[in-house]
Amino acid sequence: MKLTRTLAAALVLSSVMSVPAFAAKPVQTAIAGEALSNSAPAPASYNATGSTTIEGIVAPDANPVIALDAGHGGSDPGGVGNGLYEKNLTLDIANRTKSYITTNYPASVVMTRSSDVDVSLQSRCDIANNAGANFFVSMHINAFSDSTANGLETYYYPGSSNGLNLATDIYNKLKGSYSTLRGVKSADFYVLHYTNMPASLGETGFISNATDASKLNTTTFRQQLATQYAQGMHLYWWGN
Ligand SMILES: [Zn+2]
């Protein structure tokens, strides 16, 4: 099921994009356990042709619509560790990022959630797709069985050149907050696959690591991450 859908999407997209790397098997990771593209049916709003068209952005709009996705929520806590829930951290960071963006940049923000509620993966994509967002950023906190795992990583959809640029620009701003830099990676995460625009997913530290968790438990650090997320988006869209 998963292989079939992934392969079908790859064939459709590669025929339009002619990006040889796109045909490669998506790189998976043993660590960031986010939902993959076989987790739910594709949303009706997903348009593979449209998403490849927007990959060809050459002259960005001056005033983009930015979709922010606070991972998990409601009955889905995401990662749990060191007395913290991922869903609460991601929501706080997303809300702070929205505030920073709308205060400092000529951009508008659409949120997939702005409170502690359940939002399906399909709905997260629908919100961004229906808003015609120019790019999409999903915020998560990592978790792993080995509590020594720590640090930063960002993701993009395999073969998406603009997704890679977005993930890299955000990573380059966020990396000032971490001593362990795990890299910019690709993965077939649902929200990266079925959003009709360049997309990135950030895993800012491990809730299962005591040092990362103690930092994430402070508003000062979460504000720092929010500022860096926003500055990374600014770098991606406006180039500085
Ligand atoms: Zn997550």
CATH assignment at residue 156: 3.40.630.40
Distance 58 CA to ligand 1 centre (A): 32
**Which residues are 84's β-sheet partners?**
81
Distance 33 CA to ligand 1 centre (A): 7
Distance 239 CA to ligand 1 centre (A): 28
Which among 109, 136, 151 is positioned nearest to 201, based on CA atoms? 136
Residues 6+ apart with CB under 8 A from 7: none
Cα 211 to Cα 120: distance, rounded to the nearest angstrom:
31
**Tally of domains in the chain:** 1
Catalytic residue among 34, 55, 86, 203: 203
Q: Give pLDDT tens digits along the chain (240 positions).
A: 333 344 444 434 433 433 444 444 444 446 888 999 999 999 999 988 767 667 777 677 889 999 999 999 999 999 999 999 999 999 999 999 999 999 999 999 999 999 999 999 999 999 999 999 999 999 999 999 999 999 999 999 999 999 999 999 999 999 999 999 999 999 999 999 999 999 999 999 999 999 999 999 999 999 999 999 999 999 999 998
Which among 35, 65, 27, 53 is positioned nearest to 187, based on CA atoms? 27
> Is 203 an annotated catalytic residue?
yes
Distance 30 CA to ligand 1 centre (A): 13
**pTM, two decimal places:** 0.86
Q: Which domain holds residue 147?
A: 2-238
